[in-house]
Amino acid sequence: MKKNKTPEKPKINIYWIYGTIITFLLGMSFFGGNSSFKNVGKTNISEFERYLNAGDVKEILVINKNLAQISLKEGALSKAEHQRVKSKNFLGQENLKGPHYQFEVGNLELFQRKLEKAEEKGIEFKYEFNTIENKWIDVIIGFLPIIIIVGVWIFLMRRMSGGAGGGAGSQIFNIGKSKAKLFDQNSDVKTTFKDVAGLEGAKEEVQEIVDFLKNPKKYTSLGGKIPKGALLVGMPGTGKTLLAKAVAGEAKVPFFSLSGSDFVEMFVGVGASRVRDLFKQAKDKSPAIIFIDEIDAIGRARGKSNFTGSNDERENTLNQLLTEMDGFGTNSNVIVLAATNRADVLDKALMRAGRFDRQIYVDLPDLNERREIFKVHLKPLKTIKSLDFDFLAKQTPGFSGADIANVCNEAALIAARKNKKSVGKQDFLDAVDRIVGGLEKKNKIITKEEKKTIAYHEAGHAAVSWFLKFAAPLVKVTIVPRGQSLGAAWYLPEERMIVRTEQMLDEMCAALGGRAAEKVMFNKISTGALSDLEKVTRQARAMVSVYGLNESLGNITYYDSSGQSDYNFTKPYSEETAKKIDSEISKLIEKQYQRACKLLKTNKEKLVALAERLLEKEVIFKDDLEKILGSRPHEVEPKNLSDKSN
């Protein structure tokens, strides 16, 4: 026999409550208006004069100087013409007392004269002028601010609790419930590890977690324990959230997904309550995975910049998260995945073993990984058949997965703007230029003198980098304004795991080539080298105070990778050392500047030819440089141009 299910209690709908209150108030307003649901006949002033002259009128009440209500004598009600106002109403009552008729007075003075003339004739009747105020309307108006405040409060409660329908009462009490979105076998999650190109190391570690949930005996039979949590750490756009989506598609177990900001609320205790509810749901559906994106919203180190006291709401939420993660049993089969761009700001208690047992670093893709990412994002595009994936990967060093997706989309838009039927190689190059440099501004007004200065500046960059062995290979040079820059020299830097001193010095020298060219050709310098100086100063400071690549200071660094030091208030070195650091930075930069000037003076004719070609074409490529400057003379570079400290 089937058991009868207990009927659910009907939910209280807030709109029914609103409707009942409004109906009641309107009903009271109607009663207060002295209508009383009686049969009141409509008449006009001429008929009223006939009734008055016939002696049928008993009483006249003029309300608010506008509406006249007429009550008839009992003898007059027996007349046939007045039977309709005597008949019973829907309550079963006869209208004997009145009022029986009503009409608009019109001109009050004229109406009053008619009444006075009737009195002079000896007709007996009473008349009265009265002003009636609807007290219930005044009550409603008095309570209107309270009604509005209550309505706004209920609306906010419904919005914060995420409910679009149902009763307000139930939604208010659900404010402490978790906002996590559940993905399970019934959810349409199509992302798998095949859709995640590159990230082979990260995929391997995450895939092991998924395999553990699918087949735990394989690991527990050897005495292994399920990891409590895994933290995905990496720069923005590297694919941390995409990797979590792939886990949701592959795991085939309940997957709870939410952001760290979902725990933050204006009410005290709501964040901790949502943490408790989230982990309760996950335990009830174990084996399960919880994914918290941007966990630094609640996982920041406690005690830093805490101006609100020890009972800070964010700290309470973090404490509850720490308690829940540490409270798992070894057989609970619930794993916490989290993602952040800033692992250095997370609380140490959150990062210890037993909570986040693994930290999975999601780095920027290398050359091979970029090629695979391009293959994924180019599938929906109509490209030419001869498109070289290796070439595209080489043109995008330092690009994240999100950047590559943006390049593909921009290339498709550029091709569509040119009315092409397929996306070609040049469209991708234009897309890279658009993303890195900004939009071309060919109509920007530049004087001939400014254009000449820009041309020699960019030619100086190109020439110096061409003659230096360790400078990045040049791709093209342009004097077309793009974004905030008036010109640019585009390089294709090598992907290095480590950088040597000579490599950094050559890059600094090439960056100073623009200002050196202005000095050599015009014996003047301009503000056009601002970005170059910023880059060079940053590199020199890193060499001296971070990497220990300076003989004067020796093998010492003032960099703190833990992020615990606050250099804005205290410096980890003395004033004497600070002066020495500033002096060494200045020496490094000046030495490379003089080196660039010497190179350009030696090759002044080639610099002039390169600048004239640039003024003529506005954009020149590597082939043009080879024709003017010759092949890169790495092996025959003059020794007197090299830095002795290399």
Which residues are part of the catalytic machinery? Answer: 458
Q: Write the DSSP assignment of 88-120 as a string of letters.
A: B-TTS-B--SS--EEEE--SHHHHHHHHHHHHH
Does the bond joining 7 to the residue before it have cis omega, within 30 degrees of 0?
Answer: no
Which amino acid belongs to residue 41? Answer: G
Q: What Rg, from alpha-carbon coordinates, does the chain have?
A: 42
Residue 323 corresponds to which tokens in the numbers above? 């308690």
What's the CA gap between 585 and 545, in Å, rounded? 9
What is the DSSP pairing of strand 229-234 with strand 181-183?
A: unpaired
DSSP for 311-323, please give it.
T-HHHHHHHHHHH
First to last CA, the chain: 90
Query: In Å, what is the CA distance from 239 to each residue of 112, 202, 366, 485?
Result: 89, 10, 14, 31
State phi, psi for 358 to the nearest 5 degrees: -125, 140
Question: In this structure, are residues 59 and 129 in contact, taking their beta carbons and an 8 Å threshold?
Answer: no
Do the Cβ atoms of 27 and 129 come closer than 8 Å? no
Residues near 256 by beta carbon (within 8 Å), at least 6 away in sequence: 178, 180, 181, 182, 183, 278, 281, 282, 288, 289, 290, 291
With contact defined as beta carbons under 8 Å apart, do 104 and 64 qualify? no
Q: Would you say 346 and 218 are in contact if contact means Cβ atoms under 8 Å apart?
A: no
How many Å apart are CA 463 and CA 520, to the nearest integer? 13
**390 touches 215 (CB < 8 A):** no
Q: What is the DSSP letter of 343?
A: G
What tokens appear for 444 in the block? 């920007």
Distance CA(626)–CA(633), nearest Å, equals 11
φ, ψ (nearest 5 deg) of residue 398: 80, 5
The residue ranges of DSSP E strands in 333-440, in sequence order, are 334-340, 358-362
**What does each C-alpha distance from 273 to 223, 228, 260, 339 come to in angstroms?**
34, 21, 14, 22
Task: Provide the 8-state DSSP code for 644.
Answer: T
> What residue has token string 């002079």?
120
Where in 206-277 does DSSP place strands (E)?
229-234, 255-259
Q: What is the rounded distance in angstroms from the CA atom of residue 279 to the CA atom of residue 317?
A: 13
